[in-house]
Amino acid sequence: MVLCRPDVPETLRGPLAGGTTPALGAVVNAIVDALAELGVAHVELPATPERIWAAIRAARCTRTSAPAVI
């Protein structure tokens, strides 16, 4: 059950609404864990392919002195 009323400060949400938030953190942690050997320490949400590639390029730049090719 979802009640969306602007005049009530404590709006009720359905039982599954709170279950999706922790999953986002788990997905990002899995991405960072998979890319840790490349030097990636952080990925911002939403973890789009462009952001993941940018994180890999940035990690390469900090590990070597070569500039990133964007």
Q: 6-37 burial string, b = 16+ CB within 10 Å, else e? A: eeeeeeeeeeeeeeeeeeeeeebeebbeebee
Q: Is the peptide bond before 6 cis (omega within 30 degrees of 0)?
A: no
Residue 5 lies in a domain: no
In-domain check, residue 7: no
Instruction: Quote the domain boundaries for residue 42.
Output: 23-63
* Contacts of residue 38, Cβ cutoff 8 Å, sequence gap at least 6: 56, 59, 60
CA–CA dist 61, 38 (Å, integer): 11
Count of domains forming the chain:
1
Give a yes or no: residue 30 inside a domain: yes
- Judge whether 6 lies within some domain: no
Q: How much is the pLDDT for 69? A: 45
> Taking the model in full, what pTM does it have?
0.61
For residue 2, being part of any structural domain is answered with no
pLDDT digits over 29-58, tens only?
Answer: 999 999 999 999 999 989 999 999 999 999
